[in-house]
A and B are shown apart, each in its own frame.
Chain A
Amino acid sequence: MGSKIRVTSRPASAIRHSGAVSRAVGPDAIAKALGAEAVPREDVHGAPISMHALRRQLEIRVRSTGGRPALEGATKIQKIPLTPEDWSRLEELAARLSQQGVSATAGQVASVMVHKQLELLGSATAGHRQLSRRAMKQRLGLEQRSPRRSAHQ
């Protein structure tokens, strides 16, 4: 077995972006220009995470600080039971993302998916609680019946 490789050179300095900064445009301005209603993606309940969103999250959150690239904020390492098929699919996803230039482990892919789904579940149940309170007020005659909620994409 070979000896452990030690990097003795100084770490490279941080890359600083010195180009022109693009003007930030808020969603409201874009919505007005498009004649549309802006809806935060997180408010569209029930939608599973897409490959695009998964790739985007990994691009943002996987950071290298000199060692193995780590998933930002994911500090708790837990053993989570998975079926062999699910683990294989996660490995396939990680390999597919790697081919697209996003380097992430199967565990990091799973972490991002769990995080996003828990967020969605949280906002969905919060919405349900709000509706339940509204329904209760209507039942008690404290509030007039409001129009039906608009459909989600």
Chain B
Amino acid sequence: MTGGWESEGGRVRREKTVIIYTYIKPERFIAHLPALREFLHRFGRETDQEVVVAELSGPEGSWFFRIKEYDEGGR
């Protein structure tokens, strides 16, 4: 799959990407938020991403959680 996103400066960058959607159990999801944070920040840091985004959809709508500044390693 090829995805496009608008980077700083308004340029559309296209790259091959992988999207995985999964249903979640709210309580377990909340319990694992620290581990998810650690993964998303490490992913952004170690693969030198300008931005990392997680998407969450529910009956009230869909939200993007956009991370541009990553935690220091070993947090």
B-contacting residues, A34-54, CB 8 Å: 34-42, 44, 46, 52-53
| CB-CB nearest 7 A-B residue pairs | A41-B62, A36-B65, A33-B33, A39-B64, A22-B26, A27-B63, A36-B67
Chain B interface size, as a band, is 20 to 34
> Cβ of A52 and Cβ of B21 under 8 Å apart?
yes
Provide the main secondary structure of the chain A interface: mixed
**Residues in chain A near residue B66, CB distance under 8 A:** 36-39, 153
Given A35-B71, A40-B62, A151-B7, the answer on whether A30 and B26 have CB atoms closer than 8 Å is: no
Interface residues of A in 49-76 (CB under 8 A from B): 52-53, 56, 60
Known interface pairs A23-B26, A152-B5. Does A38 touch B54 (Cβ–Cβ under 8 Å)?
Answer: no
Instruction: Check if B26 sits within 8 Å of A34, measured CB to CB.
Output: no
CB of A31 closer than 8 Å to a CB of B: yes
Closest to B67 in A: A36
